Amino acid sequence: QVQLVESGGGLVQAGGCLRLSCVASGRTFSSYTMGWFRQAPGKEREFVGAIVWSAGNTYYADSVKGRFTISRDNDKNTVYLQMNSLKPEDTAVYYCAADRQGYPFSDYTRLRSYDYWGQGTQVTVSS
């Protein structure tokens, strides 16, 4: 059974940084694409970024490009989202997701491409 467990959220001031972790278990993820999404109150869940596990290619939404970085640790089966220069508009619940079909066979920006989701972790950025 696939499990994705996020951690690392919290309260931070604008301009600060956080690192989110997503520990994946229950499967070999080398062929997967792993995505990060977020959902602010009253808004739809949106794409933040993705990493192709095997190759390490990363892709980002324009709103976070240059501030957020996704990486993975193969030994720990963990994907990270390093968030720098945080803004109040980054406040949201952040979700990790796994797409078993993987890039380039599916669209990593779309929610429906992902088969498994974590429970989410809250990130709050104060102004």
Identify whether 104 is preceded by a cis peptide bond (ω within 30 of 0).
Answer: yes
- pLDDT above 90 coverage of the chain, percent: 89
pLDDT-derived band at 103 (thresholds 50, 70, 90) equals: confident
pLDDT tens, 41-67?
A: 999 999 999 999 999 999 999 999 999
Type of residue at 46:
E
For residue range 70-93, list pLDDT tens digits in order.
Answer: 999 989 999 999 999 999 999 999
Q: What is the pLDDT of residue 30?
A: 87
Least Cα distance to 119 among 91, 95, 90 occurs for: 95
| Nearest one of 93, 88, 90 to 127, comparing CA atoms | 88
d(CA 127, CA 125): 7
Q: DSSP assignment, residue 89?
A: G
Give, in order, the Cα–Cα distances in Å from 37 to each of 3, 75, 127: 16, 23, 22
Structure tokens at 81: 């989202």
Give which of 94, 83, 84 is closest to 5, Cα–Cα.
94
pLDDT at 68: 98
Average pLDDT over the chain, rounded to an integer: 96
